[in-house]
A and B are shown apart, each in its own frame.
Chain A
Amino acid sequence: ASFPSVVSTRSKAAHFDLKTYWTSLMVQINQKLDEAIPVQFPPVIYEAMRYSALAKGAKRAPPVMCISACELFGGSRLAAFPTACALEMVHAASLIHDDLPCMDDSPSRRGQPSNHTIYGDDMAILAGDALFPLGFRHIVSHTPTDLVPEPYLLRVIAEIARSVGSTGMAAGQFLDLEGGPNAVGFIQEKKFGEMGECSAVCGGLLAGAEDDEIERLRRYGRAVGVLYSLADDILEERIKTEGGNDSKNKSKSYVKIYGVEKAVEVAEELRAKAKEELDGFEEYGERVLPLYSFVDYAIDRSFSVGDAIV
């Protein structure tokens, strides 16, 4: 009986104006992030933190997904902003550390010099070490407690900490540095799936979603996170074969190991899986549309976010 309404939600999603939705959210997120990291003494550390957390090229995908997931269940955007900002801070912290010479040794990130290239290795380590706790502190001090009860906040904090920790993103980075080629699926899940999963789950937790709904968001977010990185790799590979620049991405990529064709196949499977999960949210009507359109956007890249918008 639910089939027709799922079809109609999916077709509505195809016409959802994601660009406007995403752009307007980004403006709000950027403003809140800017306010969340004021420059104090000693200024150099705040500047280093701001350099990466406020990087212009960033699409703010984790915060946007967190807010969309919160709004899906009727949660307020105001309840989600502090956690959304925290996700971006924690994400930035982990990217700063990943780029260091003793890790991926990346001189640039999002088309700009990486943090340590500008501020030095020592400040880059400390900027990361400071962005982690600032994220948690921001959640605690800025989430309106009349909108989000404290037990929910504790679950959000635990979720973020687990995602970046030794069995999450840190595990992915570790295997990327040391693991064999067979580990590539696991690495993509951990390095990119975790952030998507965590962002979606945090949004649901803030809105007080049921446990089965949280698990659904978990599977959806993980699929979308992996899909984004896979689609990035496919795009990069295509540009390369068309005679573009050499790949600067040093982490092990699925495309490099299994080829473009197989990668496209896996991407389509992830697209289908992510949408199937969303079909389970049909009772929430049109509030699920942004989450559907993230899935297609991951592959189609029908417009440009980030660089085009300041």
Chain B
Amino acid sequence: KGEEEKEKSAFNFQSYMVEKACSVNKALDDAVLLREPQKIHEAMRYSLLAGGKRVRPVLCVAACELVGGREAMAMPAACSIEMIHTMSLIHDDLPCMDNDDLRRGKPTNHKVFGEDVALLAGDALLAFAFEHIAVSTADVSPGRIVRAIGELAKSIGAEGLVAGQVVDINSEGLSDVELEILEFIHIHKTAALLEGSVVLGAILGGGTDEEVEKLRMFARYIGLMFQVVDDILDVTKSSEELGKTAGKDLVADKVTYPKLLGIEKSREFAQKLNRDAQEQLSGFDQDKAAPLIALANYIAYRQN
């Protein structure tokens, strides 16, 4: 036990995140080049390279390495996931959707490039994500790449991310949204792509079916936790601290965990999800699982 504690503390999460986010940023910069027509590509790069914590791509790479794969095997998929995440943010921020002016501390895409270009840049990122993973994934069998593409498509479509967005939009302003609906929204809107990130990494890294399913469960728990924490931060932090508009959920009259459960119960719920998530990793080499454990803790205790 003592040894294990020492291993955990020996793992330097800060430098791990910095190092991985650096590789991801470099790979993203190399993937989306400034081609003709320049303005679309500028718009794609503007949001894609705007910073962000790169939680999804790092999860993807970490899952790949946990099952014995190398970073390079998962990097194209990790970039694709970040492209899709970015696309969903660009579309979400549009005036006919959430109508946001600020994202990651900068003016939103349509504020800079106009709605038409923002919409197209999002579509182009979505398409390119699939091209990139299909074309640039190396040293992985075609069968695994095809399977990864299927998982990715499922996690972002009408059975995943989009389903969450739709129910979220439809539940705005309703006073009697139940916990069940709230959970549906988050499992789809947030957890699905986090699940996709981890599952893609595990598949591409050569994980067994059992390993892939364990990591899928891990991702589901941290995905839900991610949103519970997000909801808590929305009511407890300022816009400046968050780098996006705070209190947005209250203004939009959205149902949130703090509203349904109260802040304290929400915090307890987040902690339970974190425990459940980490339990899924118990069968793995704890040394190798250290990045995912630290990522779970990071999501649980993050301040923005």
Contacts and interface: CB of A to CB of B under 8 A. Distances in A.
| Majority secondary structure of chain A interface residues (helix, strand, loop or mixed) | helix
Nearest to B171: A42
Contacts of A132: 123, 126-127, 157
A128 to B, nearest CB: 7
Nearest to A45: B166
Contacts of B46: none
Interface SS majority for chain B: helix
B35 A141 contact: no
B40 A174 contact: yes
Contact of B126 (A103, A129, A153, A154): A129
A218 B40 CA distance: 25
A149 B159 CA distance: 27
Contact of B158 (A40, A154, A170): A40
A41 B170 CA distance: 12
Residue among B120, B131, B150 with max Cβ neighbours from chain A (10 Å): B120
A129 B162 contact: yes
A123 B153 contact: no
Given A42-B167, A177-B116, A125 B149 contact: no
A42 to B, nearest CB: 5
Contacts of B129: 161
Interface in B176-195: none
A170 B169 CA distance: 27
Given A102-B116, A129-B126, A44 B131 contact: no
Interface in A38-52: 40-42, 44-46, 49
A245 B44 CA distance: 39
A149 B146 CA distance: 10
A44 B130 CA distance: 26
Contacts of A45: 158, 162-163, 166
A165 B166 contact: no
A153 B166 CA distance: 31
Contact of B88 (A97, A123, A129): A129
Interface string B138-149: 000111011101
Nearest to A41: B163
Nearest to A162: B131
B150 to A, nearest CB: 4
Given A97-B123, A125-B91, A140-B146, A174 B117 contact: yes
A126 interface: yes
Interface in A91-131: 93-94, 97, 100-103, 120-123, 125-126, 128-130
B186 to A, nearest CB: 14
A263 to B, nearest CB: 25
Contacts of B96: 101-102, 120-122, 125
Contact of A94 (B122, B123, B157): B123
A55 interface: no
Contacts of B123: 93-94, 97, 128-129, 132, 164, 170
B152 interface: yes
A161 B152 contact: no
B36 interface: yes
B293 to A, nearest CB: 31
Nearest to B114: A102
B115 A42 contact: no
Given A126-B165, A158-B131, A171-B36, A44 B170 contact: yes
A154 B131 contact: no
B37 A171 contact: yes
Interface of B: 35-37, 39-41, 44, 87-88, 91, 94, 96-97, 114-117, 119-124, 126-131, 134-135, 141-143, 145-147, 149-150, 152-154, 156-159, 162-163, 165-167, 169-170
6 contacts: A97-B119, A102-B114, A129-B91, A133-B126, A136-B149, A140-B149
Given A101-B96, A130-B158, A154-B134, 6 more contacts: A97-B119, A136-B130, A157-B134, A166-B121, A174-B37, A174-B117
What are the 8 A-B residue pairs with the smallest beta carbon separation, nearest first?
Answer: A137-B153, A161-B131, A166-B124, A121-B96, A102-B115, A150-B142, A140-B150, A165-B127
